[in-house]
A and B are shown apart, each in its own frame.
Chain A
C-alpha cells in the first residue's frame, strides 16, 4: 500500500545553504508526526515546499496520489493541505469571525458572478459557514471575541485562532508550525487537546515544535532533522533517547 503522503528525496539549497538534503518521509492517514530539530534545520523550509510557497530543487511530494510539486500554493491548499505559520499570520484588520470565514475553501461567493447572479446560494452557504464558525469558535473558547479585531486577541488566542482557521478549511493534512511556542500552559493544554482529537476526524498532522514535552504528548512518531537531513525517526521515546538528538540539543 502506498503511503497517503509520500515525500521523496527533496533537495533545496539557498545560495549554498543546504535547507533540505535528500529528505524523505511518509505519513499515513490519521497519524500525528512531530518534526524536531535545531533552528535552521530546514523544518519550516519543508513546510514551505509541501505547501507550494517554495519550489524544491529536486524530489517529489505525492499527496493522495496527486503530485504536489510545481503546483501553486493556493491549489495545494484547495487539495486539502492547511498550515499555520511560525510568525503567526492572520488578517488583523478584520474580525475574528471574518478570519474564520475567510478560511473556508471553495465558497461560491468568492466568484463575483455568483454574488450577483446566484445571490441566494451565496447567502445560504455564507449562513452555513457562519453557523459552523460560531460553533467552532465556541468550542475553542473564543466565542466572546467573535467580533473583535484579530489584532485585539492575546498571542495565545491568536495561535488558537490560526489553528481554528486550519480546522474549518476541511483540510485532511494540517501542517502546524510551532503551535504552542511562547504561550501560557493552560492554553497549551487546550491546543494540544484539539490536536489530539484530529485523527478521530480522519485528519493527519505534522507538527514542528521545540517543546519536546508537547511533542511526546501528541505525536505517534517523531522525525529529528538537522542541517536539512533526516537524522533519525521513531517513537517519541526512541528519538528522545537517541545520542545524536541529545548531542544536538546539548550543543
Chain B
C-alpha cells in the first residue's frame, strides 16, 4: 500500500513540474532545459530554511516560490535576444551553474552529500507524516497548479502566449509586449517548479544535488512532450506514464542494475520516437517542433 502511495506522490510532484514547464515549452514555445534547476532551488530553499531557521513550512514554500520565480525571470531575459538553439544552450548553462553551486558550496548546501534530516512539514498545526497525508498534500498542490494553469491558458494572457509560440511578429503587431510575456511566463513556471521541489524535499527528507541535474530536466521535458505539449491534460498523462514505466520494468523481474540503464534508454527512445512520429504527444493537438516557432 505504501508503495502505491509513493508512486502516486511522485506522480503528483511530476504533474506539478510538467504542468509548469508546459506553460513555458508547450504554450509559449520556449524550450528550456533548466526546469530541474528551479525544482532544486525550491527544494534547497525549503530545506535550508527548515533546517537552519526552523521557520514554518508555509513561509518556507512562499520564499521558495519567490526566489525561484525571480531566478526564473533572470533566465527568461536572454530569451528576448537569443532564439531557438541558442536559447536552449543558455538555459542549459543556467542548469549547469545551478547544479555546480549546489554540488560545490559544501558549507552552505552540504555539497554532494546534500541536506539530510529535513523535518516533516507542519501546516497550521497539521503535521504531515504518513504517506497518505503526504499524498493529500501533494495532491492538493497538484490540483492547485493544474487549476492555475487552466485559468492562465483560458485567459487572454494565455492566448497571447500561444500567439508568441507561433509568430512573435504577429503578436508585436497586435500590440502585445512580447518581452514582458516571456519573462512573466518564466517567473510563473519557475515559481511553480519550486512548489514541487519543496514538497519533494519534505517528503524524501534528504536531498542531494544529483536529483536536480540536466537528466532530470530532460525527464521533465520528456513528460511534457510525450504527454502532449501545449495541452492541459498532456503533462498529467505523461507524468502517470513515465513515472509508472520503470515500475513496470521492476515487475517483469529485471535486475535493478540493468533496469536503471534500461530506463534511460527507454526515455531517450520514446522521446525520439515521439518527436519523429507523433510530435503532438499522446493527447496534444499542437505538434511541438522548433521550426514552428522560427519563421
CB-CB < 8 A to B172: which residues of A? 53, 72-74, 77
Chain B window 57-91, contacts with chain A (Cβ cutoff 8 Å), 1 for yes, 0 for no: 00000000000000000000000000000000000
CB-CB < 8 A to B177: which residues of A? 72, 74
Stretch in contact with the other chain, from A29-37, A110-118, A209-217: A110-118
Check B173 for interface membership: any CB of A closer than 8 A. yes
Tell me the interface secondary structure of chain B in the complex: helix
Q: A90-B170, A92-B166 are in contact. Are A111 and B175 (CB under 8 A)?
A: no
Contact across chains for B170 and A77 when beta carbons are under 8 A apart:
no
From A53, A74, A122, B175 is in contact (CB under 8 Å) with A74
Q: How large is the interface on B (under 10, 10 to 19, 20 to 34, 35 or more residues)?
A: 20 to 34
A88 to B66, CA, bound (A): 41
Stretch in contact with the other chain, from A15-23, A78-86, A135-143, A218-226: A78-86
Check B176 for interface membership: any CB of A closer than 8 A. yes
B177 to chain A: closest residue by CB = A74
Q: A91-B167, A93-B286, A115-B155 are in contact. Are A169 and B174 (CB under 8 A)?
A: yes
From B156, B165, B173, B176, A51 is in contact (CB under 8 Å) with B173
CB-CB < 8 A to A103: which residues of B? 174
Contact across chains for B175 and A78 when beta carbons are under 8 A apart:
yes
> What is the CB-to-nearest-CB distance from B12 to chain A, in angstroms, rounded to a whole number?
23
> What is the CB-to-nearest-CB distance from B104 to chain A, in angstroms, rounded to a whole number?
36
Check B294 for interface membership: any CB of A closer than 8 A. no
Contact across chains for B175 and A116 when beta carbons are under 8 A apart:
no
Chain B window 148-168, contacts with chain A (Cβ cutoff 8 Å), 1 for yes, 0 for no: 000110011101101101110
Contact across chains for A110 and B176 when beta carbons are under 8 A apart:
yes
Check A107 for interface membership: any CB of B closer than 8 A. yes
Check A234 for interface membership: any CB of B closer than 8 A. no
A92 to B171, CA, bound (A): 13
Check B184 for interface membership: any CB of A closer than 8 A. yes
Check A98 for interface membership: any CB of B closer than 8 A. yes
> What is the CB-to-nearest-CB distance from B120 to chain A, in angstroms, rounded to a whole number?
31
B176 to chain A: closest residue by CB = A74
A94 to B171, CA, bound (A): 13
Check A164 for interface membership: any CB of B closer than 8 A. no
Check B178 for interface membership: any CB of A closer than 8 A. yes
CB-CB < 8 A to A106: which residues of B? 175
CB-CB < 8 A to B169: which residues of A? 53, 85, 89
CB-CB < 8 A to A82: which residues of B? 173
Check A145 for interface membership: any CB of B closer than 8 A. no
Question: By CB atoms of chain B within 10 A, which of A72, A90, A91, A98 has the most?
Answer: A91
Contact across chains for A115 and B174 when beta carbons are under 8 A apart:
no
CB-CB < 8 A to B160: which residues of A? 102, 110
Given known contacts A110-B155, A110-B157, what 8 new A-B pairs fall within 8 Å (CB)?
Answer: A73-B173, A74-B175, A85-B170, A94-B166, A109-B157, A110-B160, A115-B151, A169-B174
